[in-house]
Structure formats: C-alpha cells, structure tokens
C-alpha cells in the first residue's frame, strides 16, 4: 500500500500508488482527461484513445487509461516522470482522435436521445476541432434488437465496448459481444436475442454516445427540461440511490446516483424502468364498497364509513398491516393511530416471519453491510436468490467472487446467480447437516476470517421460520461469524419497508395478532376492521367478513379486496424515510405530486384519526418527524446504519427450537419484474416478465 511513486503532472508534483494508471494519477493531480472507453468499475480496454497524454521520454502520446504509473521511467537524472495533459502534442492527439471518432459518427444530435448528456458531444465541444477532412461516405450500421429495455441506434456506436465489458464483468451474462472487426465491428447479442440480465439498463448510462438508449424513454424528453430529484428506490430492500427525472406531473425516467456503500452506480432494471407503472392503475379518489361493488366516493364518505366500523368494533378487533412500500413516517402514524385506538394488532412482516425487534437489531438487518460483502471470504446463501431479490447486491457478490478468493455456498433453489457456487442442498435438513459437519463447506466457512451467512425471506417466512432462524444464528456463531469487527449474519429483505417497520416496532403488541392470524391463515378471521397500508402481496379471500381499509397508490390486490380505498401517494410523490436491509435510514424525496385526490399517506392517517376521534398529535410532516426522532433518535442520522446490538441475536442461537419441516426453501421472488403494485402496473415490466418467463395466462383475480 505504501508503495507510491511521484509524478509531475502539468508541473504539479503528485504522489500516487504505483497501482494507479496514468489517468488516475492525472486526476489525482487535478487534470481532466477525456475518455470514452475507460470506466472505473470495468476492466481497461484502451481502445478509444481519447485519453492520450504526453509522457516525457515516450516516443508517442500514451493512452493514459492503460499506462501504469509503475511503468513510468524517471528522467535522465532520476527526476520524476513528467506527464503533460495540456501540451500542444496532447491537444493535437486529442483532436486527431476526435476527428477519427467523428468520421463514422452520424452527428444526428438533434434527433438523438443522448443529446444534452452525451460524452461525445461534450468532449467534441471541449477537445475537438470544428471541421472534418473526411469526405467519403459514412458507415451505416443496422440497429440490433437486444431486448425491450435498451434501444439501439448502432450507427452512433464508437466501439468503446463498455457495454460488452459491463454485461460480462458486472452483470455476469456474456450476452453482448463485438462481431466483425475494424470498421465493420458491431455490438450485438447472439442472433439478436434479448439480454437476460436484470442490470442491463445500466448499459444505457454507460454508453458514452447515443447508441444504447432507453427504449421506454425514447423521444420523450430532453435532459434539460427535466426536474431532477434525488431519491431512494423502493423496488427492493437495498435502498439504491436514484435520481427521479420528472416533467410537470410525470416521472419521465429514473437514473442511478452513486452511493458506494449501497449500489455503487448501478440500479436494477425494475428500479429504472418501473416509472410507467407510476401513471397507470392509479387510485386518484377514494372508493367505497356498496352492495359488493366499489364506487367512487368523497373523502368524507370514506372516512365516515371507516369511523362507523372502527367505533363499532372492540379495540382487539382492529388490526393493521403495513405493506412493502410503506415509509417509516406513515407506518409511525399508523402505529400511533392503532395504539391510540387501543389495538395491539399491528404487523409489518410477512406471514410467519420470525423476525422481531425484541431479538435485537442484528437479528433482522444485513449485518455485514452491503459494502462489507467485498471483505467476505466465504458466503453461505440460505433460501435466497439474490439475483432476483436484490440484483445490485448480487453484482457485489459477483464482484467479490470474481476477485477469486471467496467461496460461495447455497442452500435453496439452484439458480443461475452469475457466479459459481457449491449447492449444498435444498432445505432445512441440509442446513442441519452442514452445521453437523457432514458437508465440506463447513470447513470453508470455519477457515474463513470473515464468513457471511445471508439468509433470505424464503427461508424465514414459513411456519418453521423461527427454528430455521435459530439454526442459522447458531451456525453463524459456530463458524465465528460474530467477531470484534465483523458481523457475518445477514438477513436479506426484499421489501423496502421491512427494516423500517421492524425498527419502529411495527409488530404485534402484548397479545396482538401477527400478519398470518390477521389474514385468517390460522383459522377464522379474527378481526372486524383491518387497515392495509399498501399491503398488496397477501390474499384477502379468507377475511371477506373483515372490513378492509386499503391505503395505497395502486389498484392492485389490496385495493381489489378492500371495502374502503383511500388513495395514497407512490414513493416518488412523497417525502419519506426508508431503512434498507442493512439498517441504513435514507430519505426519499418528492418529485411530483400525487394524482387527483390522492394524498400523502401520513396525512390520510392524520385526517382519519380526527374522524375516529383519536387525533394524532402532529399536523405536519416535520412535527411527525420530530415525534419520530423523540421515540428513536436514529432517524436523525440519515444515511447511517446506527447501532446494531448483537446480544439478542446471540441469545437466539441458544434455543434452536423444534425441528424444522422438510420443505425445500423457495425464493420469495418468483418473478423479478412483478414484485410490487407499481411494477405490476407497468407495461414495460409486464413485457420483461413475459419475455423472461414466457407468455402466461392472466392471473384470474
């Protein structure tokens, strides 16, 4: 690490590690180096030549992205190597490269979706010349079909191969390639098949020109007319950093932001392309079920109907379930409302989930942290398919796997995870035999300095979940996953709301009912009134007698079964805190307003509380947040994970509980593209889903 080398970049002396490339060294010295093919997170190709700089002593300009600091020779008298990024030679070299790049580039910027945010456009302005000496015909390339998400205009391609390297290295599917050679080189998939990666949308961001653009966003907007709102994604439990680009009342597109600790700079396709689901299937006014049919109603009518039922019901006959997309503020409001109504029946967890805040925070968060995956030297996946449950996190696992030192084992459904792993078995019995030392992988885990156990919801949300959780904790303890500096026990959530809810204590109180009981999965329906805060993933058939109040944004499963629908805001339409799977509280911001009469969910609950006579003690989001911070100061420290207490977790290993069942673990995400009401409302996601799974009959609901 301490091995550094001194360079002189444009007269500035700079000391950089020998592992740096010249380009990185120049950047460290504050010099700007134009580039197309180079990307920090991809391998070095060195084929665009835009990063040429003059290196004193070298006969020709060198491609700084591919030239190691280690290889720079000192001057004749031992003076540090000198790099010139503003010399006439460098300038001429850049102009020459740019002229070559533009020879075959169509210069159709006025009709190009990349216009305004195009690397080639910007760099041609900065480093190019204003004429071309090329008088011959330009090359034209046929467009390729590479899937429903990425549109290709291949004549614009400058062959930087970033997309090929991304799909091969990060996404882990070798689907894109460069056929032909020289001028005839073309980027394509084999036989123009659609790409299968769930990270493929990132090639749109990577493409420095307009060759790969977003198909759903094609010809919709120009970057300079969009309002850009920094926010947090809720499609999975990672809380990826996103930027929501909106125009007037519409979200036009969603782009990733860089957050090294969570998503680096990638987002999954669901995150990126779900935005058309924000416009369709929206609940824009309250509905009331009369004589078995839903009719549009006013807020007053809806509230009055709810108030009647709530006042008529005994407190223990009231219940509330928070769904997957709820933010902390609205869950807090709902929790306060329920407690003021005197009901202990609240739950934010999936049926049979054994996760509980009483066991300490470490028992339900991703303890190693997402960035910590890169330090792991052995990973055991239990009942999870991270590729569909958390695609960006999966690329992190792939990254550490590619580094070559990490071994990965899986207990659960075998699947193509984009890396090789040892499949240790399908169900709880394999977990037992692993713990008993019957499988060699136990040695791998024991030898590892920083072993990781990632347990998915597929292993937990079942009747024997508690016993499996205990066994997993016991195994983690036995392999030394709980070190001074290292917590190797990780719960991978799939719902953006889950950890926030658990942190909040949105679980049944004394004598309260859990989700499964409230939904009538254990015998008869016990409740008279059930509040569903965006809870769409559950079957409501068994509780047809219960008066169901659905608060949410989309007309999906929850709304279909509800007796009163209160239209809420989607995640792009409200400011709210989400706690991701590692326990990091992050703030999502409002990009647009909710449609029609829809309101932010917390304010709906606040208004409702007044109608039922239990007015909540806050009138604004700020007041709500102040109360929230009073109850738990953790919410003041945004973007931090906070304290993860281990005590409760370790006590779990003490009682491994009854013997678990024998059913194999099944991933809780059967269809990556259709995991929440917004995605199910999206035509793009539907197309991706049918492409992935083949055409299916419409689910009859």
Partner 1 sequence: MAVRRLAEQQPDSFAFTPENSSWAEKEIAKYPEGRQASAVISLLWRAQEQEGWVTKPAIETIAHMLAMPEIRVLEVATFYTMFHLAPVGTKAHVQVCGTTPCMLRGSDELKKVCQRRIAEHPHEVSADGAFSWEEVECLGACVNAPMVQIFSDTYEDLTPESFEAILDDFAAGRTPRPGTQVDRQHSAPQSGLTSLTEIDGGSEQVLRDPPRGAPVEGKARERVEGGNGASVPAGKPTPANEDLAGGVPEEPQQAVGRNEAAATPSGKQELAGRPTGAGRPDEEAARSEPTDTGSENLGAEPHKETTQEQAEKGAGREPDKTSRDASGGTDKK
Residues that bind partner 1 (CB under 8 A): 174-182, 184, 186, 188-191
State in angstroms the smallest separation of the CB of 174 from partner 1.
4
Judged by CB, which is closer to partner 1: 160, or 341? Answer: 160
Judged by CB, which is closer to partner 1: 68, or 185? Answer: 185
Tell me the C-alpha distance between 10 and 143, whole Å.
43
State in angstroms the smallest separation of the CB of 188 from partner 1.
8
Judged by CB, which is closer to partner 1: 69, or 164? Answer: 164
State in angstroms the smallest separation of the CB of 175 from partner 1.
6
Tell me the C-alpha distance between 488 and 593, whole Å.
41
Tell me the C-alpha distance between 339 and 337, whole Å.
5
State in angstroms the smallest separation of the CB of 419 from partner 1.
14
Judged by CB, which is closer to partner 1: 174, or 405? Answer: 174
Strand-pair category, 150-152 with 62-63: unpaired
Tell me the C-alpha distance between 577 and 162, whole Å.
35
State in angstroms the smallest separation of the CB of 100 from partner 1.
18
State in angstroms the smallest separation of the CB of 191 from partner 1.
8
Q: Is 113 helix (H, G, I), strand (E, B) or coil?
A: coil
Judged by CB, which is closer to partner 1: 104, or 114? Answer: 104
Tell me the C-alpha distance between 306 and 529, whole Å.
9
State in angstroms the smallest separation of the CB of 170 from partner 1.
15
State in angstroms the smallest separation of the CB of 193 from partner 1.
9
State in angstroms the smallest separation of the CB of 161 from partner 1.
11
**φ, ψ dihedrals at 623, nearest 5°:** -60, -40
Strands (E), 365-446: 378-382, 407-411, 422-425
Strand-pair category, 52-55 with 62-63: antiparallel
Q: Which residue has the tokens 């292993």?
A: 459
Residues with Cβ < 8 Å from 92, sequence gap 6 or more?
none
State in angstroms the smallest separation of the CB of 93 from partner 1.
27
Strands (E), 101-240: 150-152, 176-179, 186-189, 212-214, 227-232
**Within a 13 Å sphere around the CA of 122, how many CA atoms are in the beta-carbon half?**
12
Q: How far apart are the first and last CA of the chain?
A: 60
Judged by CB, which is closer to partner 1: 203, or 585? Answer: 203
Strands (E), 12-148: 12-17, 52-55, 62-63, 82-84
Judged by CB, which is closer to partner 1: 189, or 384? Answer: 189
Tell me the C-alpha distance between 628 and 606, whole Å.
14
Judged by CB, which is closer to partner 1: 181, or 358? Answer: 181
Let me know: does 61 contact 90? Beta carbons within 8 Å.
yes
Tell me the C-alpha distance between 593 and 430, whole Å.
50
Judged by CB, which is closer to partner 1: 75, or 180? Answer: 180
CA 341 to chain centre: 36
**Within a 13 Å sphere around the CA of 500, how many CA atoms are in the beta-carbon half?**
32
90 φψ region: left (φ > 0), alpha (ψ -120 to 50), beta (else):
alpha
Judged by CB, which is closer to partner 1: 184, or 510? Answer: 184
Judged by CB, which is closer to partner 1: 189, or 263? Answer: 189
Tell me the C-alpha distance between 254 and 241, whole Å.
10
Tell me the C-alpha distance between 369 and 355, whole Å.
18
State in angstroms the smallest separation of the CB of 3 from partner 1.
30
State in angstroms the smallest separation of the CB of 43 from partner 1.
15
Judged by CB, which is closer to partner 1: 186, or 250? Answer: 186
Tell me the C-alpha distance between 670 and 440, whole Å.
30
State in angstroms the smallest separation of the CB of 163 from partner 1.
12
Let me know: does 4 contact 16? Beta carbons within 8 Å.
yes
Judged by CB, which is closer to partner 1: 176, or 566? Answer: 176
């Amino acid at each position: 690490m301490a091995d550094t080398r001194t360079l002189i970049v444009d007269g500035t002396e700079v000391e950089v590690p020998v592992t740096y490339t010249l380009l990185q060294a120049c950047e460290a010295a504050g010099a700007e180096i134009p580039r197309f093919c180079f990307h920090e997170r991809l391998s070095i190709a060195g084929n665009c030549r835009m990063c040429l700089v003059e290196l004193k002593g070298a006969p020709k300009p060198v491609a700084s992205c591919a030239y190691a600091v280690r290889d720079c020779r000192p001057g004749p008298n031992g003076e540090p190597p000198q790099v010139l990024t503003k010399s006439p030679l460098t300038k001429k070299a850049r102009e020459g490269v740019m002229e070559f790049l533009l020879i075959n580039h169509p210069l159709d910027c006025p009709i190009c979706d990349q216009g305004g945010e195009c690397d080639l456009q910007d760099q041609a302005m900065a480093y190019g010349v204003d004429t071309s000496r090329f008088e011959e015909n330009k090359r034209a390339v046929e467009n390729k079909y590479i899937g429903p998400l990425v549109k290709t205009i291949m004549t614009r391609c400058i062959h930087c191969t970033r997309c090929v390297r991304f799909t091969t290295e990060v996404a882990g599917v070798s689907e894109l390639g460069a056929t032909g050679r020289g001028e005839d080189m073309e980027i394509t998939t084999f036989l123009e098949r659609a790409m299968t990666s769930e990270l493929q949308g990132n090639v749109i961001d990577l493409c420095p020109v307009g060759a790969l653009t977003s198909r759903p966003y094609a010809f919709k907007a120009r970057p300079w007319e969009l309002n850009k709102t920094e926010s947090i994604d809720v499609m999975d439990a990672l809380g990826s950093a996103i930027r929501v680009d909106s125009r007037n009342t519409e979200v036009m597109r969603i782009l990733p932001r860089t957050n090294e600790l969570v998503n680096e700079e990638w987002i999954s396709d669901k995150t990126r392309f779900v935005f058309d689901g924000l416009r369709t299937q929206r609940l824009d006014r309250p509905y009331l079920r009369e004589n078995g049919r839903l009719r549009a109603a006013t807020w007053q009518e809806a509230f009055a109907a709810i108030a009647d039922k709530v006042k008529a019901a005994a407190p223990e006959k009231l219940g509330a379930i928070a769904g997957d997309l709820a933010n902390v503020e609205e869950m807090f409001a709902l929790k306060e409302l329920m407690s003021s109504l005197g009901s202990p029946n609240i739950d934010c967890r999936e049926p049979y989930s054994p996760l509980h805040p009483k066991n300490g925070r470490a028992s339900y968060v991703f303890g190693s942290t997402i960035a910590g995956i890169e330090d792991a030297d052995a990973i055991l996946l239990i009942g999870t398919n991270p590729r569909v449950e958390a695609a960006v996190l999966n690329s992190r696992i792939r990254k550490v796997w590619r580094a070559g030192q990490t071994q990965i084992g899986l207990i659960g459904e075998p699947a193509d995870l984009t890396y090789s792993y040892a499949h240790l078995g399908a169900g709880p019995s394999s977990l037992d035999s692993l713990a008993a030392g019957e499988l060699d992988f136990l040695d791998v885990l024991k030898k590892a300095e920083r072993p990781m156990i990632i347990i998915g919801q597929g292993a937990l949300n079942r009747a024997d979940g508690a016993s499996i959780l205990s066994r997993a904790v016991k195994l983690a303890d036995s392999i030394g996953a709980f070190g001074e500096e290292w917590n190797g026990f990780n719960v991978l959530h799939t719902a953006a709301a889950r950890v926030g809810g658990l942190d909040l204590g949105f679980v049944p109180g004394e004598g309260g009912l859990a989700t499964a009981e409230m939904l009538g999965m254990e015998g008869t329906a016990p409740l008279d009134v059930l509040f569903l805060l965006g809870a769409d993933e559950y079957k409501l058939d068994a509780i047809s007698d219960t008066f169901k109040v659905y608060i949410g944004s989309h007309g999906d499963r929850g709304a279909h079964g509800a007796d009163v629908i209160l239209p809420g805001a989607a995640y792009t339409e409200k400011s709210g805190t989400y706690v991701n799977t590692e326990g990091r509280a992050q703030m999502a911001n409002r990009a647009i307003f909710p449609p029609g009469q829809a309101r932010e969910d917390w304010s709906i609950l606040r208004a409702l509380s007044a109608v039922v006579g239990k007015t909540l003690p806050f009138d604004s989001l700020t007041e709500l947040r102040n109360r929230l911070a009073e109850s738990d100061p953790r919410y003041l420290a945004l973007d931090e994970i906070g304290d993860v207490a281990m005590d409760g977790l370790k006590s779990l290993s003490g009682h491994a509980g009854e013997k678990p069942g024998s059913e194999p673990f099944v991933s809780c995400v059967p269809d990556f593209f259709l995991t929440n009401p917004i995605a199910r409302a999206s035509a793009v996601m539907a197309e991706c889903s049918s492409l992935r799974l083949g055409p299916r009959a419409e689910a009859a609901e």
